[in-house]
Amino acid sequence: MYNLLYKELRLAAHPNLFIFTFLGVLVIVPAYPYGMVFLFGCLAPFLTFMYGRETNDIYYTSLLPVKKSDTVKAKFLLVILAQFIQLLISLPFAFLRVHVLVEGNPAGIEANIAYYGFGFITYAIFNFIFLTEFFKTGYKAGKSFLLGIIPATFIVFFMELIVHFPKFAWLDSIELSMMIRQIPILCVGILFYVIVMYLAYKISVKRFAYVDL
């Protein structure tokens, strides 16, 4: 599996995958809707899968002495790795902005604990729809992306909008007491991501098994 993942990173990954992964630094930008970071995290896999379609990556991988399920697993690991690295890159800048941009983020939610919880939920829903739909055929990345990005955008819009209501102002806070209150959102987001990605993998393997390459 290590060799397949290495192949994904060296041959299959579009250069923009790495660029968009580093866009986690956008949480340091003042008055910026930080939910865009998650949408970039959804766009990056799409560009890579489109790139793979043009280079016949799925067909090439099928010629290797590996199971079809391993082909699916390698793609899943690539997506998960890119999204997790994007979040890890954003973390030091999220801490830094607290000291540099003390006036907060008027454009939407702060890069706080609740923000990352919503991020995992956004990624999970996009990944589930995009990956399970893609592996129906192994090449229809465009349709899969459109079906996945619509609900992902809705979640980001909801996240950015809800913090403007006084009742939910605690979701936008970086005070310690409020961030402790946000921890359940992060826990739910992580658990949701793990469960949904597992289900997406199982469904994708079953669907890809019937694809005639």
List the domain boundaries for the chain. 2-209
pLDDT at 104 > cutoff 80: no
Residue 38's Cβ-count burial label (10 Å; 0-12, 13-18, 19+) is buried
* Mean pLDDT in residue range 3-25: 88
Task: With a cut of 90, say whether residue 120 has pLDDT above it.
Answer: yes
Mean pLDDT score of the chain: 91
Structure tokens at 205: 């393997």
Residue 163 is given by DSSP the state T
Q: What is the pTM of this model?
A: 0.93
Cα(191)–Cα(183) distance, integer angstroms:
12
Condensed to tens digits (0 to 9), the pLDDT of residues 52-78 reads 888 888 888 877 888 888 899 999 999
- Give the pLDDT confidence of 162-206 residue by residue, as tens digits: 998 989 989 988 888 898 999 999 999 999 999 999 999 999 999
Please tell me the total number of residues recorded for the chain in this structure: 213
Q: Which of 120, 97, 83 is nearest to 27 (CA)?
A: 97
Q: How far apart are CA 150 and CA 154, in angstroms?
A: 6
Closest CA to 118 of 206, 209, 185: 185
